[in-house]
Structure 1
C-alpha cells in the first residue's frame, strides 16, 4: 500500500464491494476482533447499532459461518454478552472474501467453495501474489518468479473449478506500474502474467474477474490507468476494481470510476466501500 496508507497492507483486511453503483458484497480477510466497549446507549432503545443495515439473506454472496467474527459472536452469546454480540454480528453476517494463501491457495479456496455450495452462494476471492509485490514495502513478497506465479494462479483456478466466484485480481499491481514504483524491467512480465491470469480465470465457467486499478488519490488522472488496464486484458475480464483497502469517499471514487470506465470502452467496475465511511484522513491517504 505504498504511499497511501499508514496501516501495513499485510494486516487482515475488510473490503466491501460496490458493483457499479449498487452495493453487492463484502470482501475481507480473516481478522481477530478486539472486545468493544459497549456504552449505555448501545444497550438501550432496542439495541440499535450505528451504520447501514446488514445485508439480507437475499445477497448472492457467501457468508462464512466459521469466520473469526462469527465464532466470537457465538462465544459472547454463550457468555450472555448479547449487546456485544449484536454489534459484532454487523461484521459476522456480511459476505466476506477469502485472500487465498500465498504458498498453497487450493485448500482455503476449496473449503470456501464447499461451504458456499451448501447455501448456493458465490464466493469472493482476492488473488494477491504477483512477483515483486508492493515494491518490497509493507506487503513485500509474492511468487518468487513468473513460473511460480503461473503455477499458483493455475492452482487457484483449479480449486475454484465450476463454482460461482468473483475474483479481484492483484490489488496494486497495475497502479505500481503507473506510479513508477515497480521497476521498468518488470513491467512486461507483469502485464503478461496479469493477462494470462485473466484468461486462466475466465476459462472457468462461472467466474467473474476484476483487475485492480487503485484509487483516485493514488493515480489521480483516470486516463493514466487506461492503457495499463488494456495491456493487462481488461477487455477480456469483467471489469476493474477500485479503492481496495482504502478510504476514498464513494462520491470521489464513483466519479473517477465513471471516467476510467469511459476510457476503457465502458467497462464495468466494483468499489470497495468497507473503510471509507469517514473518508480519507485529512492531509493524507
Structure 2
C-alpha cells in the first residue's frame, strides 16, 4: 500500500488522503498504449509498449465529450480494485488558446461551470487525484484581460466544486512548468485561481523538465505563495530532461513511473507517453492526443 504522506504545513483543503485510502495507483486497461498493443499484438513493438507504458498507471484525460457516466464509471472501476485513479479535467473554453494544437473546450463560461460541477459530483467520495486544466494558467500571452479574468473565475469555481463535492480527492491546479512562467507570476495566478481551495498544484504536465528542475521551480512558487502547497510532477517524459522544445521533441525518454514521494507529493504520468502533442516535431502528421507507436518506442529508447 502506498504510504500516507506527511503534510509540512496545515492546508485549507480538508480532505482524507486518497493515497492512504487505496492500495496503489490504478492502471487503465484501456489507455491508448494498452489498447494499441492489444490490437496490434503481431507488431514487433507491441510487447515493449505494453510492458513499458501500457502496464503503467497513466492519467486519463476528460474533455467536453465526457459526462457523469464516463467519469463516474472510471472512478468506480478504480475503486472496485482498491486503486487510486488519476484524472485530468481538460475542458476550459479557449483551451490551448496560444499553443494552437489542442483547441476546443466548453462553449461558454456557463457550459464550463455546469461541466466541472458535474465532474466533481461524479467523482463524489471516491479516492481520486484530479489535475485541473493543464496549461490554463500559463497560456495568457494571446488573451485579453477580460478573457483572463473569465478564466480565473472558472478555475476558482472548479476548485470550489471539488472542495464541496469531492472530499476524498486531492485536486491540483496546473502550474505550468519550469521553463514557462516566472515562479512569482505563477504563484499570483495560482492564488487568483483558488489554489488554496484544493490540495495544491501540478507542474511539468506534458513537458520534459527533470524532476529536480521541477522541484526547484515549485519551491520557488511556494516561496512566492507564502506557504508549502503540496505539488505533483508529471514525469511521463522527463527521463532525459528538456531540450527547449515542447511539441513532440526528439531525444526525450520515459521518466520515473507513478509513485508517492520522490521530491514531490507524487510523481505521476499525466501525459500519456506516445500520444502526440500535435502535428509537429517528430510526429508532423499525428494530431494532438492520437497515439503513435513510433513516439512511444522512441520514449522507451530515449531517441
Aligned partners of 1:83 and 1:131: how far apart in 2?
37
Unpaired runs of 5+ residues, structure 2, are 7-21, 247-303
Shift of 1:183: 1.6
Partner of 1:69: 33
| Compared CA separation, residues 223 and 97, structure 1 to 2 (3 A) | same
The reply to whether residue 154 of structure 1 matches residue 117 of structure 2 is: yes
| Compared CA separation, residues 193 and 88, structure 1 to 2 (3 A) | same
RMSD: 2.4
Aligned partners of 1:275 and 1:173: how far apart in 2?
20
The reply to whether residue 144 of structure 1 matches residue 92 of structure 2 is: no
Shift of 1:100: 1.3
| Compared CA separation, residues 128 and 101, structure 1 to 2 (3 A) | closer
| Compared CA separation, residues 132 and 67, structure 1 to 2 (3 A) | closer
The reply to whether residue 132 of structure 1 matches residue 94 of structure 2 is: yes
Partner of 2:156: 195
Question: Over alpha carbons, which structure has the higher Rg?
Answer: 1
The reply to whether residue 270 of structure 1 matches residue 232 of structure 2 is: yes
Between stretches 238-247 and 102-111, larger displacement belongs to 102-111
Partner of 2:183: 222
**Matched residue SS, 1:99:** strand
Compute the TM-score of the two structures, normalised by the length of structure 1. Answer: 0.72
Greater share of helix residues, 1 or 2? 1
Partner of 2:175: 213
The reply to whether residue 174 of structure 1 matches residue 141 of structure 2 is: no
Aligned partners of 1:95 and 1:167: how far apart in 2?
14
Shift of 1:75: 5.5
Aligned partners of 1:192 and 1:75: how far apart in 2?
43
Aligned partners of 1:74 and 1:144: how far apart in 2?
35
Aligned partners of 1:279 and 1:101: how far apart in 2?
28
What does the per-residue CA deviation read over 1:234-274, in whole Å, with 9 as the maximum and x for residues that have no partner?
11111111010011122211111111122211111111111
Aligned residues: 224
Compute the TM-score of the two structures, normalised by the length of structure 2. Answer: 0.68
Unpaired runs of 5+ residues, structure 1, are 1-18, 21-57
